[in-house]
Amino acid sequence: MKLNKANFYAFNIQGEKVYSYISNKKLKEPKIFDIVNYQNQPWEKKENISTFYDEHEKTTIVVQLPNPNFHTPLKSETDINKDAVKSIGIILFCLIIILFVIAFWYAYKFGKPILHIINWLHFLEKGNYFEPKDKTGIPVSIHPQKSQLKPSFKTFSEVINSLKQLTINLRENELHQKYIDETREEWIAGLSHDLRTPLSGIYGSAVMLNSSDYQWSIEEERELYSSIEKNAAYMSELIEDLNLTYRIKNNSLPIHKKRTEINMFLEEVTEHFFESCIGSNQEYLIRSTTEHIYYPIDEKYFQRVLNNLLSNAVKYNPSGTLVTIETLIKNSHYEIRISDNGIGMDSNTVKNLFNRYYRGTNVQKNTEGTGLGLAITKQLIELHNGEIQVHSKLHEGTVIIIKLPK
């Protein structure tokens, strides 16, 4: 038995095992049910089982041997399908895990920057012109130690830089708009005062002329009429300036340019201005180029430009100030310079000089004018394809340069 790797069992009539000899531990100990079931298709069993009944001892002898002819049966089609479904399920499960890991990685790499950009846009929409920050007060996109974009944000560096520039522009525009609103209110208050002053003069003169309590002489009537005329002319000039500046702004001002010799035109306008400038003690000097300068201008509006600049040089400087008017020929343009050695201007006044909502701090209170002259001057020069620059310092005088392209 040991040679054949067989096992030996003895069972009594009650089916209880009374003796056994085991030489092959790989074989499972048979039960009575296994012994009976073995008779059905014994070739499909892993072991051979032989039985013998001893009448004398009333004992059943069982011998168990390995079955050399046993082969693992082929799987049925149903079993194969089950195995295939199971394999596919395992593969799908692995794919889902891989996709989840990839999605988590992309969410970390792209999700956080995208959410930051969306949050940033919400800030801008609500008027909060700054980049969202973390709890430490540092912008979310910036690495706290390296002071540069975090690795996950570098993919969106162009978008973030554009948002930073947009944020700066919006913040500056908001500050500029607040400044414009404030200066506009100040300008409107000043304009209301400028309108109220001549209106008061007209109204007062009219009331006096219409009074029956006093008989006015011819000289007194002429003086009152002259006052009405002067105030009405001032109001007319103010309204005309307002109309002109908005017509220029809306490109509805007709400009009729013709080729003009600038030196001769400048001399005529300057001499006429100072001849008609009664009560002015300023001196003037004209320096023209020896070469003729021809440039297409609208003589009516360009004369207004020169008159405005000369008027400012006279009105805002003390007696004895020298006003110099000169022309220069540069490589790419012509220049008209109007300079003086008067009181000059501070940097803030120079910066806002051509803003029609701005009123300078060094303007004399009794100075007449609409306050729109320089704003209109700049607009008219630009309509002639030119540009204007101002250089000035307090107590050092002012230089105004008109550049006309060749």
Model pLDDT for residues 351-362, shown as the tens digit of each residue: 888 876 555 545
Q: How far apart are CA 181 and CA 255, in angstroms?
A: 31
* pLDDT number for residue 374: 87
Q: Measured between alpha carbons, how far is 325 from 73 in angstroms, rounded to an integer?
A: 117
Whole-structure pTM over 0.85, yes or no?
no
Q: H-helix or E-strand containing 270? A: helix 262-276
Alpha-carbon distances, residue 77 vs 33, 80, 82 (angstroms): 30, 5, 9
**310 near 336, Cβ under 8 Å?**
no
Beta carbons within 8 Å of 46's beta carbon, 6+ residues apart: 27, 66, 67, 70
**What's the CA gap between 365 and 200, in Å, rounded?**
18
What pLDDT was estimated at residue 214? 81
Q: What per-residue confidence (pLDDT) applies to 337? A: 96
Q: Give 199-266 as a DSSP string.
A: HHHHHHHHHHHH-SSS---HHHHHHHHHHHHHHHHHHHHHHHHHHHHHHHHTT------EEEEHHHHH
Place of tokens 């007709």: 254
Q: 86-121, pLDDT tens digit by residue?
A: 888 899 888 899 888 887 777 666 677 888 888 898
Tokens standing for residue 47: 């072991």
List C-alpha distances in Å: 118 to 110, 111, 122, 127, 130. 12, 11, 6, 14, 13
Q: Is 364 helix (H, G, I), strand (E, B) or coil?
A: coil
Structure tokens at 234: 């001032």
Give the pLDDT confidence score for residue 53 in this predicted structure: 78
Q: Is 310 exposed, middle or buried (CB count within 10 Å of its CB: 0-12, 13-18, 19+)? A: buried
pLDDT at 385: 94
Under a CB-based contact definition with an 8 Å cutoff, are residues 284 and 340 in contact? Answer: no
Q: Which amino acid is at 86?
A: K
Alpha-carbon gap, residue 272 to 268, rounded angstroms: 6
Structural domains of the chain sorted by starting position, each given as residue range(s) with its CATH number in brackets: 7-66 (no CATH), 94-252 (no CATH), 258-405 (3.30.565.10)
Q: Which residues contact 154 (CB under 8 A, 6 or more apart)?
A: none
How far apart CA 378 and CA 304 sit, in angstroms, is 11
pLDDT confidence of residue 67? 73
- Confidence at residue 366, expressed as pLDDT on a 0 to 100 scale: 44
What residue ranges of the chain have pLDDT lower than 50?
361, 363-367
